[in-house]
Amino acid sequence: MHQVVKGSSLRHKYLSLVVPVFNEADVIPIFLKRMNEIRSQVLDSLGANSSMELVFINDGSSDGSRQVIEAFATQDTSIKLVNLSRNFGKEAALSAGLHYSQGDAVVPLDVDLQDPPEIMLALIREWQAGAQVVNARRTDRSRDGLFKRCSAKVFYWLLRRISDHPVHEHVGDFRLLDRKAVDVLNQMSENTRFNKGLFSWIGFRVATVEYARPERAAGSTKWTFPRLWALAADGITTSSTLPLRIWTYIGGLIALLSMGYATWLVIYTFTTGIDTPGYASTMVAVLMLGGLNLLSLGLIGEYLGRVAIEVRGRPLFIVESTRGL
């Protein structure tokens, strides 16, 4: 069944910025100061009578991020706030922001200014030229840590080769989405979210803007190794079933090799009359097959666990309160 969506014309002049935050109280003022510096340029690029909103998603912060945003919201009515009941993770927070944004174009970006707001001017130009999804591709990640650069390179290399649908390489959440694209994304009910994969899967007319990724303006990254590992696992399991199918090929290959080896043993025994010594080779085969069985069961468990999450049907996020919406 195909999906028919209604969207807005490119003549619309309302822009939404979706900004997930988790314990970012020290960088929020810096981010808003930068936004105020370029706000007039952004509105001018949109045209006359244009407007914009900043939708902050407070993802269960415990450091005063909520209070900082509320203080700025009293002075600027374009600042909106959605408070989640706890920390649901960035993928869920970003989905909440897409649900609450009202713009004809929506730009998710990080508050740490590693997604430079100035790049929005180029994104808007591509949107006005007819693109419905405008990716911001990172061409220089030298300001990221060595581990993050290497892990990102391996992840995108692997994902590009096994994904059922190509995922845009070195493109994070920072991009511009037309209202048509946002409406489609908001209709997706899956709870195991890998938004980068969903952004690529929906299609539409795509353009790309390249930029060099700067370092954080303040604070420290919240992407620990366990969080990155969980995101990578979600990305692979939601984008491809090849890790499951590959065990069919491995099992078939091992079965063929086993039959060939068994045939060789029978022929060898009949022709020489000597029992084949095999304790060491037997132990190697048992241990190897046992390890492969455990690995395949673990992989199946990863997929099965995500199926269980979907079957429960729990909401992707819970909103405690909102401000300005």
172, containing H or E segment = strand 171-178
Provide the pLDDT for residue 2. Answer: 38
d(CA 56, CA 66): 9
Asked if 92 and 230 touch (Cβ cutoff 8 Å), the reply is: no
Asked if 168 and 196 touch (Cβ cutoff 8 Å), the reply is: yes
d(CA 237, CA 158): 12
d(CA 52, CA 104): 10
Residue 31 structure tokens: 């981010």
Angle between helices 120-128 and 28-46 (to 10 degrees): 30
Angle between helices 146-162 and 225-239 (to 10 degrees): 10
Q: What is the pTM of this model?
A: 0.65
Asked if 107 and 66 touch (Cβ cutoff 8 Å), the reply is: no
Each residue of 2-30: pLDDT tens digit?
A: 343 444 444 557 889 999 988 888 888 98
231 versus 76: the higher-pLDDT residue is 76
Residue 120 CB burial class (10 angstroms; 0-12, 13-18, ≥19):
buried
Each residue of 54-72: pLDDT tens digit?
A: 999 998 888 888 888 988 8
Provide the pLDDT for residue 235. Answer: 60
d(CA 122, CA 116): 11
Q: Are strands 171-178 and 105-108 parallel, antiparallel or unpaired?
A: antiparallel
Asked if 48 and 58 touch (Cβ cutoff 8 Å), the reply is: no
Each residue of 229-269: pLDDT tens digit?
A: 665 666 666 666 666 667 667 766 776 676 676 667 667 66
